[in-house]
């Protein structure tokens, strides 16, 4: 939702502290505000301040741009009246911020009362009050049939225990899980999110022992809380989202995707053959033959290494096998390594494999199944990550089929590129949170995933790229510091701005960039060798490199240089693909597909060369069957 003049918001607890700051900030955007609070003097004062802010946007409205309503949020009739007054004044409700809250007046261990004026009251205000206001706001937004955003004020003590005030902590923990459980309202256009700041210097925050606040990194500046609230309002993907704000670590979403994956458990067998994946009712007529790209000569020059050939479609399909009709194929930097024979091992000479099928990954529709395949149906959209993706059809063992909801380009991007980032950061990088992560070639196929996954895990991310468009993409993906090496010298920026180095480096360029990364690694740092694209297409192809002093450097700083090759992690593909699909479908992960279109198998060599030209932004994809993708688009 764009924060723009003319919207209306209701803020409980708006007379002081965070509620007051948010009311003023909303007024500063020309938004009409109802301040709901217990304290009349302070509430009226805030309303007049909000009116002053609003006066910059509106004149002669005929109604006040801010009103104060005295209300006890533990009294359901008071609440109903406040919401009714708001709707009667402003004709609807776009934003509701439930801020009213108290600290437990009597410490739990000293409380000898029946709790009515202490712990029960805290729960009444902090939890029941928020539930009641949220319920009202949802009801109004539903009846207005207009999008709305509700923000509930949690606290970091709703995320982890606060020993000094267990009742407060319990009430806020309730707010957090109550709000997170409301995520499905997004389907009705209503987004409910929770904000969890650590100590803010309000009346309540100032009562906390300053030594403890200091230990936690100091008070969270109010503008950071406002920034967080505005992010939850504006970002349409946020629903049931919990934003944790600390002065130590900034803004980060809780839980991290890694933690989320622990409870969003789906057994691999249930996802692999998920009933949610609906076979499409398409007219799939099998041809007698099909076209594919094969490597006929071993060279890193992909165009000269490959040719398009006609291959017979041998029926019936082998037992346990599946025929996939390919719609999109993914282009990878390593296509040129494969065409030069680099990925064959064993005793046989590499040339004895010729000719062999090119392409690593594709999505399409199951066109036929062999005997003994009982759990895959014709028409099911599926992905594959086996050789032979640059083809109209591919026959694979059913165990290689990864069913997906739709055969879209974004799914192709999640395969080699997305899985490499997801698995490498977790396994080779052992990524946690609160770390400094450096990503090279970050606006490319795999880099775009690495930066986002590192951000989602709560890290500071610095990323390199060559060009303004790529720099803009990385900024849009939330990278904290983008280094466009065409405009800035990477080494100088790193020395000046990141002298302590990086805990994790996701490196895929090689050569001088690898050396630079090695020097930018912090003590205990882990440098993940993803690839060395700068060396794949040299005059004589890819030559082994020597890095002088490598052992001495990593020994001196207890560092790790970890190789990563996706092929060795096949057992994790389905699990990580499910995670990526979940992040993407819940709007937490964005996927950038390069806008240049490559249609049909004749365009594959162009696409591979385009990727290596350094001009591509995001994932490069070939549409193998444009007619089919048009049919799909209509579904
Ligand atoms: P990509 O990142 O989409 O490749 C394009 C980007 O690479 C370009 O935008 C450019 O970025 C950079 N680049 C291209 N040619 C270059 C050159 N000659 N010198 C320096 N930079 C160049 O490609 P990708 O398929 O996702 O692969 C990226 C890297 O990850 C490759 O090294 C690849 O081998 C590796 N990879 C490894 C695995 C694995 O399992 N280990 C799996 C997938 C990919 P900027 O100029 O903007 O920096």
Residue 439 near residue 447, CB atoms below 8 Å:
yes
Question: How many whole angstroms separate alpha carbon 343 and alpha carbon 271?
Answer: 30
Is the pLDDT confidence value at 118 over 90?
no
* Each residue's pLDDT tens digit, 39-56: 999 999 999 999 999 999
Mean pLDDT of 387-394: 97
How far, in Å, is the centroid of ligand 1 from the Cα of 507?
A: 9
How confident is the model at residue 10, as a pLDDT?
A: 98
Class of 275-407+622-633 in CATH? alpha beta
Is the pLDDT confidence value at 499 over 60?
yes
Say whether 416-585 and 8-254 share the same fold: yes
Given the CA of residue 465, which atom of ligand 1 is nearest to it? 47
Structure tokens belonging to residue 461: 């991310």
Residue 582 near residue 608, CB atoms below 8 Å:
no
Is the CB–ligand 1 distance for residue 565 below 6 Å? yes
Structure tokens belonging to residue 74: 């533990």
Which residue has the CA at smallest separation from atom 35 of ligand 1?
A: 531
* Each residue's pLDDT tens digit, 426-484: 999 999 989 999 999 999 999 999 999 999 999 999 999 999 999 999 999 999 999 99
* pLDDT bucket at 103, cuts 50 / 70 / 90: confident
Given the CA of residue 620, which atom of ligand 1 is nearest to it? 3
How far, in Å, is the centroid of ligand 1 from the Cα of 441?
A: 6
Structure tokens belonging to residue 105: 């007046």
Residue 256 near residue 434, CB atoms below 8 Å:
no
How confident is the model at residue 613, as a pLDDT?
A: 96
Is the CB–ligand 1 distance for residue 592 below 6 Å? no
Is the pLDDT confidence value at 271 over 60?
no
Identify which of 446, 468, 573, 619 to mutate to test ligand 1's pocket (most ligand atoms within 8 A of the CB). 446
Which residue has the CA at smallest separation from atom 18 of ligand 1?
A: 534
CATH architecture of the domain covering 416-585: 3-Layer(aba) Sandwich (3.40)
Is the CB–ligand 1 distance for residue 534 below 6 Å? yes
How far, in Å, is the centroid of ligand 1 from the Cα of 82?
A: 57
Mean pLDDT of 110-134: 91
Is the CB–ligand 1 distance for residue 447 below 6 Å? yes
Residue ranges covered by each domain of the chain = 8-254, 275-407+622-633, 416-585
Is the CB–ligand 1 distance for residue 443 below 6 Å? yes
Residue with the bigger pLDDT between 592 and 208: it is: 592
* pLDDT bucket at 273, cuts 50 / 70 / 90: very low
Question: How many whole angstroms separate alpha carbon 279 and alpha carbon 274?
Answer: 11
* Each residue's pLDDT tens digit, 212-268: 788 888 889 999 999 999 999 999 889 999 999 999 888 889 997 767 767 765 444
Which residue has the CA at smallest separation from atom 32 of ligand 1?
A: 531
Instruction: Work out the mean pLDDT of the chain and round it to a whole number.
Output: 92
Cα torsion 72, 76, 80, 86: sign: positive
Query: Would you mind telling me the total number of residues written for the chain in this entry?
Result: 635
Is the pLDDT confidence value at 107 over 90?
no
Residue 298 near residue 354, CB atoms below 8 Å:
yes
Is the pLDDT confidence value at 209 over 90?
no
Task: Classify strands 289-295 and 356-357 as parallel, antiparallel or unpaired.
Answer: antiparallel
Question: How many whole angstroms separate alpha carbon 94 and alpha carbon 244?
Answer: 23
Question: How many whole angstroms separate alpha carbon 36 and alpha carbon 137?
Answer: 13
Is the CB–ligand 1 distance for residue 445 below 6 Å? yes
How confident is the model at residue 274, as a pLDDT?
A: 41
Question: How many whole angstroms separate alpha carbon 65 and alpha carbon 30?
Answer: 9
Nearest to 589 by CA among 468, 405, 401, 422: 422
Question: How many whole angstroms separate alpha carbon 69 and alpha carbon 79?
Answer: 10
Is the pLDDT confidence value at 306 over 60?
yes
How far, in Å, is the centroid of ligand 1 from the Cα of 400?
A: 25
Which residue has the CA at smallest separation from atom 11 of ligand 1?
A: 441
Helix-helix angle 468-476:447-456, to 10 degrees: 30
Given the CA of residue 534, which atom of ligand 1 is nearest to it? 19
Task: Classify strands 362-369 and 381-384 as parallel, antiparallel or unpaired.
Answer: antiparallel
* Each residue's pLDDT tens digit, 274-296: 434 556 656 678 999 999 999 99
* pLDDT bucket at 32, cuts 50 / 70 / 90: very high
Say how far residue 425 (Cα) sits from the centre of its chain: 14
* Each residue's pLDDT tens digit, 314-346: 988 999 999 999 999 999 999 999 999 988 888
How far, in Å, is the centroid of ligand 1 from the Cα of 310?
A: 31
Q: Residues near 630 by Cβ (< 8 Å), separated by ≥ 6? A: none
Task: Classify strands 521-529 and 502-507 as parallel, antiparallel or unpaired.
Answer: parallel
Mean pLDDT of 356-372: 95
Say how far residue 511 (Cα) sits from the centre of its chain: 30
How confident is the model at residue 629, as a pLDDT?
A: 64
Is the CB–ligand 1 distance for residue 418 below 6 Å? no
* Each residue's pLDDT tens digit, 586-627: 888 999 999 999 999 999 999 999 999 999 999 999 999 988
Which residue has the CA at smallest separation from atom 42 of ligand 1?
A: 420
Is the CB–ligand 1 distance for residue 535 below 6 Å? no
Is the pLDDT confidence value at 347 over 60?
yes
Residue 306 near residue 341, CB atoms below 8 Å:
no
Which residue has the CA at smallest separation from atom 21 of ligand 1?
A: 534
Question: How many whole angstroms separate alpha carbon 430 and alpha carbon 37?
Answer: 47
Question: How many whole angstroms separate alpha carbon 199 and alpha carbon 219?
Answer: 5
Given the CA of residue 535, which atom of ligand 1 is nearest to it? 18
* pLDDT bucket at 552, cuts 50 / 70 / 90: very high
Question: How many whole angstroms separate alpha carbon 600 and alpha carbon 406?
Answer: 20
DSSP letter, residue 319: T
Q: Residues near 317 by Cβ (< 8 Å), separated by ≥ 6? A: 323, 368, 369, 370, 395
How far, in Å, is the centroid of ligand 1 from the Cα of 294?
A: 23
Helix-helix angle 129-144:166-180, to 10 degrees: 20
How confident is the model at residue 375, as a pLDDT?
A: 83
Mean pLDDT of 2-8: 96
Q: Residues near 536 by Cβ (< 8 Å), separated by ≥ 6? A: 300, 333, 334, 336, 337, 542, 612
How far, in Å, is the centroid of ligand 1 from the Cα of 329?
A: 17
- H/E stretch holding 362 reads strand 362-369
Domain 8-254 coded CATH 3.30.70.3040: no
Mean pLDDT of 301-308: 97
How far, in Å, is the centroid of ligand 1 from the Cα of 514?
A: 13
- DSSP secondary structure of 453-478: HHHHTT-EEEEEESSHHHHHHHHHTT
How far, in Å, is the centroid of ligand 1 from the Cα of 508?
A: 6
How far, in Å, is the centroid of ligand 1 from the Cα of 447?
A: 8
Residue 65 near residue 32, CB atoms below 8 Å:
yes
Nearest to 361 by CA among 392, 398, 334, 331: 331
Task: Say what the pTM is.
Answer: 0.70
Nearest to 438 by CA among 511, 366, 500: 500
Residue with the bigger pLDDT between 208 and 525: it is: 525
Residue with the bigger pLDDT between 96 and 116: it is: 96
Sheet containing 460-465: give its strands across.
481-484, 460-465, 436-439, 502-507, 521-529, 560-563
As a three-state string, the secondary structure of 164-225 is CCHHHHHHHHHHHHHHHCCHHHHHHCEEEEEEEECCECCCCHHHCCHHHHHHCCCCECHHHH
């Amino acid at each position: 939702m764009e924060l723009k003049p003319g919207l209306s918001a209701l803020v409980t607890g708006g007379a002081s502290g965070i509620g007051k700051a948010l009311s003023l900030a909303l007024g500063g955007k020309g938004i009409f505000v109802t301040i709901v609070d217990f304290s009349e003097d302070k509430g009226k004062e805030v309303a007049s301040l909000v009116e002053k802010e609003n006066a910059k946007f509106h004149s002669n409205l005929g109604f006040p741009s801010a009103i104060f309503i005295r209300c006890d949020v533990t009294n359901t009739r008071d609440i109903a009246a406040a919401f009714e007054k708001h709707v009667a004044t402003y004709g609807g409700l776009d934003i509701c911020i439930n801020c009213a809250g108290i600290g437990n007046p009597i410490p739990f261990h000293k409380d000898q009362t029946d709790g009515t004026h202490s712990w029960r009251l805290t729960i009444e205000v902090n939890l029941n009050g928020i539930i009641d206001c949220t319920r009202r706001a949802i009801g109004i937004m539903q009846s207005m049939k207009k999008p709305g955003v509700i923000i509930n004020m949690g606290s970091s003590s709703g995320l982890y225990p606060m020993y000094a005030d267990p009742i407060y902590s319990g009430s806020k923990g309730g707010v957090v899980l109550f709000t997170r459980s409301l995520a499905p309202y997004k389907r009705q256009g209503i987004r409910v999110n929770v904000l969890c700041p650590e100590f803010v210097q309000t009346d309540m925050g100032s009562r906390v022992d300053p030594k403890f606040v200091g230990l936690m990194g100091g008070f969270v500046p109010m503008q950071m809380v406002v920034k967080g609230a505005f992010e939850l309002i504006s970002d349409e993907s946020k629903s049931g989202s919990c934003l944790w704000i600390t002065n130590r670590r900034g803004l980060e979403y809780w839980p991290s995707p890694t933690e989320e994956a622990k409870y969003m458990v789906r057994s691999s067998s249930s996802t692999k053959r998920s009933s949610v994946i609906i076979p499409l009712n398409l007219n799939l007529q099998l041809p007698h033959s099909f076209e594919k790209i094969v490597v006929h000569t071993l060279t890193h020059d992909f165009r000269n290494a490959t040719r398009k050939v006609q291959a017979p479609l041998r029926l019936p399909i082998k037992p346990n096998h599946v025929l996939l009709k390919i719609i999109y194929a993914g282009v990878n930097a390593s296509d040129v390594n494969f065409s030069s024979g680099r990925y064959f091992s064993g005793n046989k000479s590499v040339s004895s494999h010729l000719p062999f099928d090119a392409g690593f990954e594709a999505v399409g529709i199951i066109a036929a199944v062999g005997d003994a395949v009982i759990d895959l149906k014709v028409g099911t959209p599926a992905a594959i990550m086996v050789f032979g993706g640059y083809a109209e059809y591919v026959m694979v063992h059913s165990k290689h089929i990864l069913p997906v909801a739709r055969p879209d380009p974004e799914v192709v991007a999640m395969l080699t590129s997305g899985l490499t980032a997801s698995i490498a950061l977790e396994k080779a990088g052992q990524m946690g949170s609160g770390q400094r992560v450096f990503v090279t070639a970050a606006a490319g196929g795999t880099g775009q995933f690495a930066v986002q996954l590192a951000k989602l895990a709560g890290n500071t991310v610095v990323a390199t790229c060559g060009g303004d468009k790529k720099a803009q993409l990385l900024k849009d993906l939330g990278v904290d510091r983008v280094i466009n090496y065409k405009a800035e010298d990477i080494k100088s920026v790193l020395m000046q701005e990141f002298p302590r180095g990086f805990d994790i480096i996701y490196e895929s360029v090689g050569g001088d960039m690898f050396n630079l990364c090695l020097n930018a690694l912090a003590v205990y740092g882990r440098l993940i060798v993803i690839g060395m694209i700068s060396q794949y297409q040299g005059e004589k192809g890819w030559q082994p490199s020597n890095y002088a002093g490598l052992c001495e450097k990593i020994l001196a700083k207890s560092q790790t240089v970890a190789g990563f090759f996706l092929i060795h992690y096949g057992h994790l593909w389905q699990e990580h693909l499910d995670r990526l699909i979940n992040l993407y479908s819940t709007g937490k992960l964005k996927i950038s597909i390069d806008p240049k279109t490559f249609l049909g198998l004749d365009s594959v060599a162009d696409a591979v060369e385009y990727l290596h030209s350094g001009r591509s932004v995001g994932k490069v994809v070939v549409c193998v069957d444009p007619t089919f993708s048009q049919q799909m688009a209509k579904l």
